[in-house]
């Protein structure tokens, strides 16, 4: 089968033939129609991730058709249009993943290929209102956004929401989920163009986080926020916390700006704020996310589509940060 393989760290992906996976008990073979990219793929290529094993087929997001099933799998799955929960071995505790939790595409082979073998337990029906590219754009970003906002964040209808760095795939799904839920949502971005696109999706307002004292200006305009979804952290994290209302929540699912620095403790304890970590989600979270997407007919924003042969170009493009929404590989 055709596949985009990382054979060496810091080397370009090799698009080449590799053996079609052989199914273990309880697994299915999915013929991938589309795959989506995540920053995780870039980090793995650059060696900035734990547990890397090469060679590996990258990719955590995919949509496709079940083309083979192994022993022990419900035969109803055969020929079904599916998407896949990219998280393996979450375990039984809804509060956190187990120690052996991994994500498709490292260390196990991922979706940048014509076929993938996965446990039937991770299959979910593809939402019928989405095309293959849109469906592939949903799993990792949708799951991460849904758990942060709805599970860890326990979003209430009356909550005013701030989503930082709105260009990213997770941030954008969080924006769509919160708006579909009926919440008032504000955003930040360093790009006017991305702010504009967020307004088109229904954000009430937004601000450039590179502006001096952006947080004061934002709170002046919008008031304080009950729920903040953040993934930059770094030295600017204190400014984000300052936007949170007393008794509110700051959900963090990433830290692209590096270590959290220099937070005055009283800003957290006197204002009774909760800073809550969130990552990926359980298979139950995935099913709930999907039900929410189906109910509200949410369509992930696909920024750009590349053919599998241009997988490296797609990664390079993702790495420029110029996308709004997901970068997708069309596979078959």
CB of 276 to a copy of itself, least distance (A): 4
130: left (phi over 0), alpha (psi -120 to 50) or beta: beta
CB of 238 to a copy of itself, least distance (A): 9
**Distance separating alpha carbons of residues 190 and 195, to the nearest angstrom:** 8
CB of 161 to a copy of itself, least distance (A): 17
- From the list 34, 106, 152, 323, which residue makes contact with a copy of itself (rule: CB under 8 A)? 152
**Could you tell me which residues come within 8 angstroms of residue 196 by beta carbon, excluding any fewer than 6 positions away?**
none
* Residue 255 interacting with a copy of itself (CB under 8 A): yes
In angstroms, the Cα distances linking 16 to 5, 25, 69, 111, 306 are 7, 27, 25, 14, 16
* Residue 227 interacting with a copy of itself (CB under 8 A): no
- From the list 211, 246, 291, 297, which residue makes contact with a copy of itself (rule: CB under 8 A)? 246
Q: What are phi and psi of 273, to 5 degrees?
A: -90, 145
Quick one: 34 or 278, whose CB is closer to a copy of itself?
278
CB of 152 to a copy of itself, least distance (A): 7
* Residue 45 interacting with a copy of itself (CB under 8 A): no
* Residue 159 interacting with a copy of itself (CB under 8 A): no
CB of 330 to a copy of itself, least distance (A): 31
Contact segment (CB under 8 A) with a copy of itself among 73-81, 156-164, 192-200, 248-256 equals 248-256
User: Measured in whole angstroms, how far is the alpha carbon of residue 17 from the centre of its chain?
Assistant: 28
DSSP H/E element including 32: strand 27-36
Interactions with a copy of itself, residue window 81-110 (CB under 8 A): 93, 95-97
- From the list 56, 243, 273, 314, which residue makes contact with a copy of itself (rule: CB under 8 A)? 273
DSSP H/E element including 63: strand 61-69
Buried b (16+ CB within 10 A) or exposed e, 250-276: bbbbbeebeebeeeeeeebeeeebebe
Contact segment (CB under 8 A) with a copy of itself among 10-18, 159-167, 188-196, 277-285 equals 277-285
- Give the CA radius of gyration of the chain: 20
Which tokens in the block code for residue 316?
């390079």
In angstroms, the Cα distances linking 324 to 14, 167, 168, 234 are 26, 5, 7, 22
* Residue 276 interacting with a copy of itself (CB under 8 A): yes
* Residue 252 interacting with a copy of itself (CB under 8 A): yes
* Residue 80 interacting with a copy of itself (CB under 8 A): no
Quick one: 246 or 307, whose CB is closer to a copy of itself?
246
CB of 242 to a copy of itself, least distance (A): 13
The footprint of a copy of itself (CB under 8 A) covers 93, 95-97, 152, 233, 246-247, 252-255, 258-266, 268-279
């Amino acid at each position: 089968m055709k596949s985009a393989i990382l054979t060496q760290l810091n080397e370009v992906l090799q698009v080449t033939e590799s053996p079609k996976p052989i199914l273990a008990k309880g697994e299915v073979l999915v013929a991938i129609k589309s795959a989506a990219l995540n920053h995780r793929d870039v980090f793995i290529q650059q060696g900035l991730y734990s547990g890397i094993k090469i060679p590996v087929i990258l990719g955590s997001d995919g949509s496709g058709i079940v083309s083979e099933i192994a022993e022990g799998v419900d035969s109803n799955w055969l020929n079904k249009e599916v998407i896949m929960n990219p998280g393996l071995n979450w375990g039984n505790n809804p509060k956190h993943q187990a120690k052996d939790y991994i994500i498709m595409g490292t260390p196990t082979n991922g979706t940048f290929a014509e076929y993938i073998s996965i446990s039937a337990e991770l299959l979910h029906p593809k939402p019928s209102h989405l095309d293959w590219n849109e469906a592939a754009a949903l799993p990792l970003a949708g799951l991460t956004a849904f758990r942060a906002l709805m599970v860890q964040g326990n979003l209430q209808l009356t909550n005013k929401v701030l989503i930082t760095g709105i260009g990213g795939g997770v941030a954008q799904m969080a924006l769509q989920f919160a708006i579909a839920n009926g919440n008032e949502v504000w955003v930040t971005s360093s790009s006017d163009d991305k702010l504009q696109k967020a307004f088109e999706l229904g954000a009430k307002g937004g601000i450039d986080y590179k502006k001096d004292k952006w947080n004061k200006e934002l709170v002046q305009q919008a008031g304080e926020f009950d729920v903040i979804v953040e993934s930059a952290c770094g030295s600017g994290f204190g400014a984000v916390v300052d936007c949170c209302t007393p008794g509110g929540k700051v959900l963090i699912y990433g830290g692209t700006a590096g270590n959290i620095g220099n937070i005055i403790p009283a800003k957290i304890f006197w204002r009774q704020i909760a800073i809550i970590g969130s990552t990926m989600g359980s298979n139950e979270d995935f099913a709930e996310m999907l039900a929410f997407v189906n109910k509200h007919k949410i369509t992930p924003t696909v920024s750009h589509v590349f053919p599998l042969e241009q997988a490296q170009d797609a990664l390079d493009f993702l790495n420029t940060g110029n996308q709004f929404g997901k970068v997708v590989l069309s596979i078959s």
